Structure 1
């Protein structure tokens, strides 16, 4: 399959000038579905970039929307080697297990959606059995000081998608609580964020039947998004 894509790596306009194919067509993997979100930063030191959501129709990828994005305060790091507490956004290709928010789901949302309440926490305690999981109420073995009380982030978590980084089989110390969420006041602690209107549009667009994934990376280099 990759050979076929390689043969189509360059397209041409009617004037004969080469045109790069859509970004998803240049990725090593898109998750196997017909929806994809790409989050691209200029380089690993960047705290800003672009989020674009794509859908595959008639055998080709089409851009469905785009928005400015924010990344970790310390930039981005390869997801396979990222360390917890570094304020870096992990690069890689990830599933989007479910959505959540302090506000009701936007109209049209089809992704499973959990409403945040005062007992909603995200456990980031490496010693807990529920590490990198929603915990409601907070598990007895999960220290509050090592976790996020989701209700306290009413602005950022008005609407959010869980990014499946270190999620299926969590590696202690790799990191927990990586989301695609609404912008706060500046760079994130490792998540990807977009304006509130864009987040609502993404949730109304995402269709679990289309197996949406998110690919996070840089324009080039060892963490180039095309690697994932």
Structure 2
């Protein structure tokens, strides 16, 4: 099992490598709540990788990989039974579009935060994804440059953990 460490200081490290990362606009938090803009502290399993096939080739990784399509969304409506689940758009509840105009979701690693089972209001759509080129923070995810994300994915296997620490 590989451990990917993320610190409150904005650095991510794995296998002796250390790179800058972006965290939530509200920093990191132990008690995650929907919409707080914070990255949750904890050890989050890497569930699967998603990618935009119109923008890049299938990432090389030991994780399960799936394509993102124009109808893909992620439910962030804590009052809906599909909360914190992948959904097809259009959807009756509030959802995030996975097929974005920007490049932030060209590659996404779905993290096992609040998903087994999802608890309403405890946070949804917590991913490891591509960092904003202007250096903007995330809405609660962890983000790194595309080249670094592809390098990291090449080392990933089922059972690996992304560990967000307050230190």
Same fold (TM over 0.5): yes
Q: TM-score if structure 2 supplies the norm length?
A: 0.90
Over 3 Å counting, the alpha-carbon distance change for 1:117 and 1:154 in structure 2 is farther
Partner Cα distance (1:92, 1:117) in 2: 30
Partner Cα distance (1:102, 1:154) in 2: 11
Are 2:17 and 1:50 aligned? no
Asked if the contact 1:67–1:195 (Cα under 8 Å) also holds between the matched residues in 2, the reply is no
Query: Which protein shows a greater Rg?
Result: 1
Count of residue correspondences: 162
User: Which among 19, 22, 35 is matched to residue 2 of structure 2?
Assistant: 35
Over 3 Å counting, the alpha-carbon distance change for 1:153 and 1:68 in structure 2 is farther
Counterpart in the other structure of 2:116: 168
Q: What is the aligned-residue RMSD (CA, Å)?
A: 1.4
Counterpart in the other structure of 1:112: 64
| Higher RCO, 1 vs 2 (CA within 8 Å, ≥6 residues apart) | 2
Query: Once the 2 structures are TM-superposed, how far is the Cα of residue 154 of structure 1 from its aligned partner?
Result: 4.2
Asked if the contact 1:111–1:207 (Cα under 8 Å) also holds between the matched residues in 2, the reply is yes
Q: TM-score if structure 1 supplies the norm length?
A: 0.67
Query: Higher helix fraction: Structure 1 or Structure 2?
Result: 1
Which residues of structure 2 form unaligned runs of 5+? none
Partner Cα distance (1:114, 1:163) in 2: 14
Partner Cα distance (2:165, 2:104) in 1: 22
1:162 counterpart SS class = strand
Query: Once the 2 structures are TM-superposed, how far is the Cα of residue 72 of structure 1 from its aligned partner?
Result: 0.5
Which residues of structure 1 form unaligned runs of 5+? 1-33, 43-48, 55-62, 220-228
